[in-house]
Amino acid sequence: MKFDISKLQWTREPENYRIFPDKIEITTKPNTDLWQRTYYHFRNDNAPVLQMKTDIPFFSFVVKTAFASQHRFDQCGVVVYLDSENWIKGSVEYENERFQHLGSVVTNHGYSDWATTQIDASIKSMWYRLSRREDDFRIECSEDGVTYRQIRICHLLEGKGEIAFGIYACSPEQSSFLATFTHMELTECKWPTHDGQAPDDDL
């Protein structure tokens, strides 16, 4: 399956970006973010998102990100954005000169969660592989584009049928940085069927 950039559509088009056949660059704007309610209680829904729509129930999407992030919470990565209250994102979020947060946020019906692990602040690129199996999703990451490790398996309550998926970049605080996306590829689903415990019988 070809990743056709002509099918990409903006949700909140940023002021500064460039789209090439093999590369997309986004310069973030300060005070842009995606988050809903949980813990912080505020609701942020103004980050630029660039996606394509599909009703393919099983696929994987690969992208390499490179980022010149330098301020707390600067981030870029993969996204499945259905609407303001139902979405997934996976990214590296800058924290300080020592470490960053590699992780994911899943938002169902207006409530977000954030699962992370710390990585060194010197890392300035990351590959992601987003896989869909109907309304279940897996996000993986890789530093070399060859060996991937799992970040998250999750469910989207509104994730059946047609969805939208792609990339995003934002700067929740007073910052701006250049995010670059390359090596975008749409493939058959790289998330194999489960071969362990059988599903419970319907009650």
Q: Which structure tokens are listed for 49?
A: 């998102």
Q: Are 48 and 171 in contact (CB under 8 A)?
A: no
pLDDT at residue 121 in the model: 97
Token output for 139: 């996000």
pLDDT of residue 200: 72
CB atoms under 10 Å from CB of 99, counted, come to: 15
Q: What is the distance between the alpha carbons of residues 162 and 191, in angstroms, rounded to a whole number?
A: 19
pLDDT-derived band of residue 201, with 50, 70 and 90 as boundaries? low
Return mean pLDDT, the chain: 95
Q: Shortest CA distance to 88 belongs to which of 39, 29, 143, 140?
A: 140
Residue 41: the pLDDT is 83
With 90 as the cut, is the pLDDT of residue 2 above it? no
* Contact predicate 180/24, CB 8 Å: yes
Name beta bridge partners: 187. Answer: 60
- What domains are defined for the chain? 5-187 (2.60.120.200)
Reported as a single tens digit per residue, the pLDDT across 104-122 is: 999 999 999 999 999 999 9
| C-alpha triplet 51, 29, 86: angle, nearest 5° | 40
Share of the chain above pLDDT 90, in %: 91
